Amino acid sequence: MTSTLNTLDTPAAVIELPRMMRNIARMQDRMDALGVAFRPHVKTTKCAAVVQAQRDAGARGITVSTLKEAEQFFAGGVVDILYAVGIAPHRLPHALELRRRGCDLTIITDSVASAREIVAFGRAHDEAFPVLVEVDTDGHRSGLHPEGDELLQVAMVLHEGGMRLKGVMTHAGSSYELNTPDALRAMAEQERAGCVMAAERLRAAGLPCPVVSVGSTPTALSATHLEGVTEVRAGVYVFFDLVMHNVGVCAMDDIALSVVTTVIGHQPEKGWVIVDAGWMAMSRDRGTSRQQRDFQYGQVCGLDGAPLAGYLMVGANQEHGIVAREDGIDGDIVARFPIGSRLRILPNHACATGAQFEKYEALSADGDTQAWPRFHGW
């Protein structure tokens, strides 16, 4: 059954397909031009139809953040899967089971302790797990220093323990904190150079390192060259969002995800419109609050998707959003946005907003929408 933006129940998470397809083509073309494989991170969407579009465009394999994602996409026919979160020892039996069923699952680690767990479990079950060693190129979260001793120790433990040491991977997540092309290019180069250095140190020590995997949406879209890198990973580029707009890697009209909401009330003295999308729909993500342009809970657009300058979602309760002008009271708010009328809200963070919904509504250029299920949980 098809619907339109006027007949959908609200709140609804709408994907503008022409924008999504443009975003997918932009990234894949870039990766092709830079001579690297592209492995999209599917944690952003957890949606088979979106991932199919990424694969159709040329993606090779996928990146996941949970074994549930691996299960779901393997069931859907994706075999080459990188689980890009350091593996907890209690998840090794599940990883083994996936591999025994034919999933080419690669795992990652960044400690000798965890590498030893992988080796002990792999040897006990006669499984040579493919493993990437996680490298820290920007200090924002996990990984080993590319120039440190532990990098080689971890690689050695895996290799000598009989695991399939595939190489190194990194994610320069601190690129989300930048907002100039120069800083982004520099971070992309830092990410590339650090990961390639780690790879070269492994090779110099006589260890195998066929894979050099890097990526984040901002660095993938800013790198000028990727010498020594074999693959790039990125996720949020498929939809983009207000945080990425502030980082400077997309325009407002590249943002492919929005939430359709219905006006349910007004507080005219305050210039407020009450809508039926609260934080349960938008998520509590306030990523733009730390950026140069704070969009509160989201940029308000008309149902045609055109931003209404100055109107933001300024507050959110569970199922209520408050829409208002950011620069003062709009005395005409009741007539402008009557009860029952509809708005669209661009989100701070597409990964967080999408995760609030059981399905996307994929909006074609002809105005029809189609439900695209997404999954949830672990």
Whole-number Å distance between alpha carbons of 156 and 276 = 55
Whole-number Å distance between alpha carbons of 195 and 169 = 7
Binding-residue pattern over the window 186 to 225 for a second copy, x denoting contact by CB under 8 A? ----------------------------------------
Binding-residue pattern over the window 233 to 262 for a second copy, x denoting contact by CB under 8 A? -----------------------------x
Among 158, 356, 361, 369, binds a second copy (CB under 8 A): 356
Whole-number Å distance between alpha carbons of 182 and 179 = 9
Nearer to a second copy by Cβ, of 224 and 318: the residue is: 318
Whole-number Å distance between alpha carbons of 356 and 159 = 41
Q: Does 88 bind a second copy (CB under 8 A)?
A: yes
Q: Does 351 bind a second copy (CB under 8 A)?
A: yes
| Amino acid present at 47 | C
Number of residues counted as binding a second copy (CB under 8 A): 56
Whole-number Å distance between alpha carbons of 265 and 111 = 54
Nearer to a second copy by Cβ, of 143 and 167: the residue is: 143
Q: Please say whether the beta carbons of 124 and 162 come within 8 A.
A: no
Whole-number Å distance between alpha carbons of 121 and 126 = 8
The stretch near a second copy (CB under 8 A) out of 123-131, 224-232, 274-282, 292-300 is 274-282
Among 320, 368, 370, 371, binds a second copy (CB under 8 A): 320
Look at the alpha carbons of 235, 238, 241, 244 in this order and tell me if their dihedral is positive or negative. positive
Nearer to a second copy by Cβ, of 3 and 190: the residue is: 3
Q: How far is the CB of 128 from a second copy (least distance, A)?
A: 21
Nearer to a second copy by Cβ, of 2 and 56: the residue is: 2
- Cα distances (Å, whole numbers) of residue 306 to 113, 255, 303, 335, 346: 52, 11, 8, 19, 10
Whole-number Å distance between alpha carbons of 313 and 278 = 9
Binding residues for a second copy, rule: CB under 8 A, are 9-11, 43, 65-66, 85-91, 110-111, 113-114, 117, 136, 141-142, 173, 262-267, 274, 276, 279-280, 283-286, 315, 317-320, 322, 338-340, 349, 351-352, 355-359, 376-378
